[in-house]
Amino acid sequence: MHEMSLAVGILQIVEEAARAQRFQRVRSIVLEIGELSAVEPEAMRFCFDAVSRGTLADGAELDVITVAGQGLCFNCNKTVPLAALYDPCPACGGHPVQPTGGTEMRVKELEVE
């Protein structure tokens, strides 16, 4: 379950922000998770709850914004929606389709005290 190591990374980002901006507690965290990122939002919530116990993010709400997958088809040169990595182009059926969105995961916002 790679979500556990990702949750630890998110906590490190939050702790670094707390040191830099001098806040004491995190109420909520907004994450953007791409549909093609291989990150399961519910597993991420579970893992973050586990790693944040006893920290400044203990009890923080983890809000997830899903970012749709999209890619550039090298066959027809169109930007197309992409449901899964290595899928054919939905416009022409060609390959390869280079992912251009939906592979990311990032901390977008923190609500702090």
pLDDT digits (tens, 9 = 90+) for 19-52: 999 999 999 999 999 999 999 999 999 999 999 9
pLDDT in tens, 39-88: 999 999 999 999 999 999 999 999 999 999 999 999 999 999 999 999 99
Q: Does residue 1 surpass a pLDDT of 90?
A: no
Q: What's the pLDDT score for residue 111?
A: 96
CA separation for the pair 81, 64 (Å, rounded): 20
Question: Is the separation of the CB atoms in 17 and 61 below 8 Å?
Answer: no
**How do the domains of the chain map onto residue ranges?**
3-112
Residue 42 burial (C-beta neighbours within 10 Å; 0-12, 13-18, 19+): exposed
Is 95 one of the annotated binding-site residues?
no
Q: Which CATH number fits domain 3-112: 3.40.50.2000, 3.30.2320.80, 3.30.565.10, 3.40.50.720?
A: 3.30.2320.80
Report whether pLDDT(18) > 80: yes
47 is in an annotated binding site: no
Rg (CA), the chain: 17
Q: What is the pLDDT of residue 98?
A: 96
